[in-house]
């Protein structure tokens, strides 16, 4: 279905605000909104960063209500972290942690009494004075959590000899072009307390949450909003996992894109976007899901979750 001889698969979707004409962009501490000028000229805005989009794409495959992967890919392996001393208590997983298998909650946990930092080291075949074998490590990650190959991982601890790194294979960003500020404001209202201090003149002010407080806010309007995606097919095929497994990983990446565009674009309270024009050549949801299910079954890549215990 997807020609794996293409080095990259690129898709662009035109977006628009789902309510009104304005939207709220991502903000950064001490910077605010990331406004910039393209070489083509005009003011542009970073609506959602590459880092945030990676988290959102990966989140499409996780069911928060059940604390498990969605049904389509629930057969693929991953690491579940439970609390030592209360082994039924679920804490987190390699699918939810920002650093995936390299998360502190994973590496400092134990599997049948063995520290996970040692389990991962041995699975990856890390040894002193030995070159990193990326095909072998990729096969190991397929047995631990294949999403590390899609969304990247950096084994940065000194105990992981060679500190191997797997680059993110799917990247995305949302930008707005020809942007203008929309200045507005409001008031946090307190209909009970009419003064900003109590009867003794101490406390009871805005720092404690009392009083009516006016505020201002900046939103944006734009000539165009674009979500852009790229899947690095060359990177995934370079791991030597075989055409079928490489295809599976590529299709999961495309499924994440399709799912995000269909139901995952409420980025913030005041940033609810919808697709105005779909990406060209992006397969439909049903087509992707049928082929993904076929490949998971035929390639025997399914496995039970790996449950580890974290003591803290």
Domain boundaries, the chain: 8-183+214-310
Tell me, rounded to whole angstroms, the distance of Cα 269 from its chain centroid.
18
Predicted TM-score (pTM) of the model is 0.91
Bridging pattern class, strands 27-28 and 35-37: unpaired
3-class SS at 183? Answer: strand
Q: Could you read off the pLDDT of 216-243 as tens digits, one per residue?
A: 788 899 999 999 999 999 999 999 999 9
Q: Could you read off the pLDDT of 175-222 as tens digits, one per residue?
A: 999 999 988 878 878 888 766 665 555 666 776 778 777 777 888 999
Contacts of 139 (CB under 8 A, 6+ apart): 239, 241
* pLDDT given at position 149: 98
Q: Identify the segments of the chain with pLDDT beneath 50.
A: none
* pLDDT given at position 193: 76
Packing angle of the helix pair 50-59, 243-263 (nearest 10 deg): 100
What does the DSSP assignment read for 188-232? E--SS--SSS-TTSSS-SGGGT-S-EEEEEEEEEEEEEEEEEEEE
| Residues 311 and 21: beta-carbon distance below 8 Å | no
* pLDDT given at position 203: 65
Contacts of 209 (CB under 8 A, 6+ apart): none
Specify the DSSP element, H or E, that contains 35.
Answer: strand 35-37
In the DSSP assignment, the letter for residue 23 is B
Q: What does the angle CA 223 – CA 227 – CA 232 come to, to the nearest 5 degrees?
A: 145
In DSSP terms, which residues pair with 111 in a beta bridge?
A: 114
In DSSP terms, which residues pair with 273 in a beta bridge?
A: 17
Of residues 236, 275, 235, the one with CA closest to residue 257: 275
3-class SS at 262? Answer: helix
Of residues 274, 262, 226, the one with CA closest to residue 17: 274
| Residues 264 and 273: beta-carbon distance below 8 Å | no
Distance (Å, rounded) from C-alpha 155 to C-alpha 107? 10
In the DSSP assignment, the letter for residue 89 is E
Count of CB atoms situated within 10 Å of the CB of 69 = 18
Distance (Å, rounded) from C-alpha 91 to C-alpha 76? 19
Specify the DSSP element, H or E, that contains 276.
Answer: strand 271-277
What does the DSSP assignment read for 60-122? TTEETTTTEE-GGGTTS--EEEEETTEEEEEEEETTTSTTGGGSHHHHTEEETTEEHHHHHHH
């Amino acid at each position: 279905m997807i020609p794996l001889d293409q080095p990259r698969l690129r898709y662009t979707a035109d977006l628009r605000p789902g309510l009104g004409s304005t939207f709220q962009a991502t903000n950064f501490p001490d910077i605010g909104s990331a406004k910039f000028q393209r070489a083509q000229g005009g003011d542009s805005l970073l609506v959602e960063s590459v880092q945030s989009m990676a988290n959102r794409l990966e989140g499409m495959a996780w069911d928060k209500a059940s604390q498990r992967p969605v049904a389509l890919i629930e057969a693929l392996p991953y690491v579940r972290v439970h609390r030592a001393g209360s082994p039924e208590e679920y804490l987190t997983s390699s699918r939810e942690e920002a650093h995936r298998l390299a998360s502190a909650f994973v590496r400092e946990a134990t599997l049948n009494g063995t520290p996970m930092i040692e389990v991962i080291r041995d699975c990856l075949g890390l040894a002193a004075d030995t070159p990193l074998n990326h095909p072998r490590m990729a096969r190991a990650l397929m047995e631990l959590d294949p999403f590390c190959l899609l969304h990247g991982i950096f084994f940065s601890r000194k105990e992981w000899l060679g500190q191997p790194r797997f680059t993110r294979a799917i990247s995305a960003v949302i930008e707005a072009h020809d942007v203008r500020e929309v200045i507005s404001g409001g008031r946090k209202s307190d209909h009970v307390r009419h003064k900003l201090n109590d009867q003794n003149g101490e406390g009871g002010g805005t720092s404690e949450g009392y009083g009516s407080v006016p505020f201002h806010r900046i939103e944006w309007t734009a000539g165009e909003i674009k979500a852009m995606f790229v899947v690095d097919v060359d990177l995934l095929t370079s791991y030597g996992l075989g055409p079928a497994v490489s295809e599976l990983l590529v299709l999961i990446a495309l499924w994440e894109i399709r799912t995000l565009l269909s139901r995952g674009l409420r980025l913030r309270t005041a940033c609810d976007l919808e697709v105005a024009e779909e990406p060209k050549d992006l397969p439909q949801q049903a087509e992707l899901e049928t082929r993904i299910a076929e490949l998971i079954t035929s390639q025997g890549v399914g496995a039970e979750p790996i449950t580890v215990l974290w003591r803290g």
